[in-house]
Structure 1
Amino acid sequence: MTFILDPIFYFIAVPVVLLIGISKGGFAGSLGLLCVPLLSLVISPIQAAAIVLPILCVMDIFGLIAYRRIADWRNLGYLLPGAIAGILLGYLLFSYLSSDFIKILLGVICVVFTLNHYIRRVPADHVAKASISGGSFWGSIAGFTSFVAHAGGPPLQFYMLPQKLDKTLYVGTSVWFFFAINYVKLIPYGLLGQFSLQNIGTSLILLPLAPLGIWLGVKAHNMISEVLFYRIAYILVLLTGGKLLWDGLTGMNLLF
């Protein structure tokens, strides 16, 4: 078995996998979008996504056990066809997506997600309704961004949060959504040759951290002020997005 040997990679990868587990464990779930951007600081975004996907798939099983009977099936029916179309689009465009372009895309996602959190103001009594058009549109965006960077969380939230679902129903729907699309992504990732021996070996080394991260997420949900955690975390998202935008734009010679 081969695997990445660079200690700097593991200096970043270990907390990243723990962060994914914490998110899957029900605490600060949106911050899973940081996994590929942070790893992209030391390896290519394409390799980072390939290493993370098997770990996500294992974590999704734990989530599905907890929420196997809880989901808004109507919303899933609206979201999943679009998400599969978005995954297919990502697969078809894969050979045209350079590392610099993906860094720019990730940077934009991080910055827009953060600014939306701080700037967006929705009336307290406003409740959006599930719709085929909205679910198909945001589902396709989530499928595409999830395919290239496992960053399907923000588009899903843009669609679902305004509906103000019961928290448990919202989490259960999200668990089912990502379980479905992550396992669908295994097919195009395999066809594209992303599961090299080095990538799989690195995933296996990091995999034992998955249940630990989920356990920490469950504990943190009850012990730590989520408000304070989010304040710090959103700053991290914004800084990471800014760094990726700079690197991507510089790499494509779009900055002087």
Structure 2
Amino acid sequence: MFEMNMVFFALAIPAVIFAAVSKAGFGSGASFAATPILALILPPGPAIGVMLPLLMLMDMASLKPYWKKWDATQAKMLILGAVPGVALGALLYKSTNPDVFRLLIGLIAVGFVIYQMVLKSGLLRLRSGGFSNPMGGVFGMVTGFTSFVSHAGGPPATIYLLASQPSKTTYQATTVIVFWAVNVMKFVPYAFLGIFTTQTLLADLVLAPFAVAGAWLGVKAHHLVPERAFFALTYVLLTLTGSKLIWDALT
């Protein structure tokens, strides 16, 4: 149970808008920042439960502008690989306590920032020429698992997609169709595991307009906003929220 008070909405509204802008305009790589923000004030279950219907709404708002502009082969490999990843995430959720999920969400958030810093330093380079189709399935499985745990499937999918050096729009369109499919997959196990509640659905009704508005802004920002500025803010948010969740889980 959680209380939908001023503190909740003061954090949830900007988090949802930020996630929608990222998802619709910048390839979903950082859209999971909303989950660790919500997990600061909610148990992990309600935090991911509030976000999934909103992410699905963002998916629907983003599909039309990018329709059929995706790489069909890469999308198929990621989607097929995500099936066992989602199943593994569901099994883990059923058998662990909330602190394990807080720790996982925090580690994924901070780990993503560290990975990006190492990449930008030149110590690590993305593979050039693209990965094989079987490797696409492996990346898809990781995408499905991290997406189930904290809606953080963007980073592994990004590594796989960017290796083939797609155009900005092809990359964005591929992430849109992939995460539309992955989020549909997650809906049924979320429902069976009791992650959705009356409260999470009521919160979704209030937050839905902000999700749609954020998706619209993201499509516009795709062509107007420098990626460097957007992701710099993302890394700060992920570091702060991820560190706090790790601390809470371990103390």
Q: Which residue of 2 aligns with 1:14?
A: 13
Cα distance in 2 for residues equivalent to 1:25 and 1:65: 11
Residue 207 (structure 1) aligned with residue 229 (structure 2):
no
Query: Could you tell me how far apart the structure 2 residues matched to 1:220 and 1:197 are?
Result: 34
Which residue in 2 is equivalent to 1:79? 78
Taking structure 1 as reference, are residues 170 and 206 closer, same or farther at Cα in structure 2, changes over 3 Å only? same
When structure 1 is superposed on structure 2, of 95-104 and 218-227 the one drifting more is 218-227
For 1:244, the equivalent position in structure 2 comes to 245
Runs of 4+, deviation exceeding 4 Å = none
- In the TM superposition, residue 129 of structure 1 has moved relative to its aligned partner by 1.9
Deviation per residue, 1:224-245 (Å, 9 max, x gap): 4432232232122122221111
In structure 1, what residue type is equivalent to 2:212? P
* Corresponding residue for residue 136 of structure 2: 135
CA distance in 2, matches of 1:215, 1:71: 19
Q: Does the 8 Å contact 2:50/2:200 carry over to 1?
A: yes
Q: Name stretches of at least 5 consecutive residues in structure 2 with no aligned partner.
A: none
1:88 aligned partner = 87
User: Which amino acid in 2 is paired with 1:16?
Assistant: A
The answer to whether 1:52 aligns with 2:47 is no
2:103 matched residue in structure 1: 104
Q: 1:243 to 1:77 in 2, by over 3 A?
A: same
* Contact 1:19 1:31 (C-alpha < 8 Å) held by counterparts: no
Between the aligned partners of 1:217 and 1:196, the Cα distance in structure 2 is 29
What is aligned with 1:34? 33
Match in the other structure for 1:217: 218
What are the superposed Cα offsets for residues 29-78 of structure 1, whole Å, 9 maximum, x if unpaired?
Answer: 42211111000000011111111111111111111112221211111222
* 1:253 equivalent in structure 2: none
Question: Is 1:155 the equivalent of 2:134?
Answer: no
Whole-Å separation in 2 of the counterparts to 1:230 and 1:76: 24
Whether the 8 Å contact between 1:78 and 1:131 is mirrored in structure 2 is no
CA contact (8 A) 1:3 1:197 kept: no
Asked if the contact 2:106–2:243 (Cα under 8 Å) also holds between the matched residues in 1, the reply is: yes
Q: CA deviation at 1:3?
A: 8.3
Contact 1:28 1:226 in 2 (8 A): no
CA contact (8 A) 1:83 1:142 kept: yes
Q: Quote the residue 2:228 is aligned against.
A: 227
1:165 — aligned with what? 166
Q: Is the 8 A contact 1:76 1:177 kept in 2?
A: yes
* 1:165-219 Cα deviation digits (max 9, x unpaired): 1111111111110000101111111111222211111111111111211232234
Q: Secondary structure at the match of 2:30?
A: helix
CA contact (8 A) 2:130 2:165 kept: no
Matched residues in 2 for 1:222 and 1:70: separation? 16
Kindly indicate whether the alpha-carbon contact (under 8 Å) linking 2:131 and 2:164 is maintained by their aligned counterparts in 1.
yes
Supply the RMSD in Å over aligned alpha carbons: 2.0
Q: Is the 8 A contact 1:4 1:202 kept in 2?
A: no
For 2:188, the equivalent position in structure 1 comes to: 187
Judged with a 3 Å threshold, the aligned counterparts in structure 2 of structure 1 residues 206 and 190 are, in CA distance, closer, same or farther, namely same
Count of residues paired in the alignment = 248
**C-alpha separation in 1, matches of 2:6 and 2:21:** 23
Letter in 2 for 1:8: V
CA contact (8 A) 1:23 1:32 kept: yes
Name whichever of 160-169 and 115-124 sits farther off.
115-124
Contact 1:111 1:237 in 2 (8 A): yes
Letter in 2 for 1:232: L
Distance change (3 Å), C-alpha of 1:220 and 1:79: closer
- C-alpha distance 108-51 of structure 1, shift in aligned 2 (>3 A): same
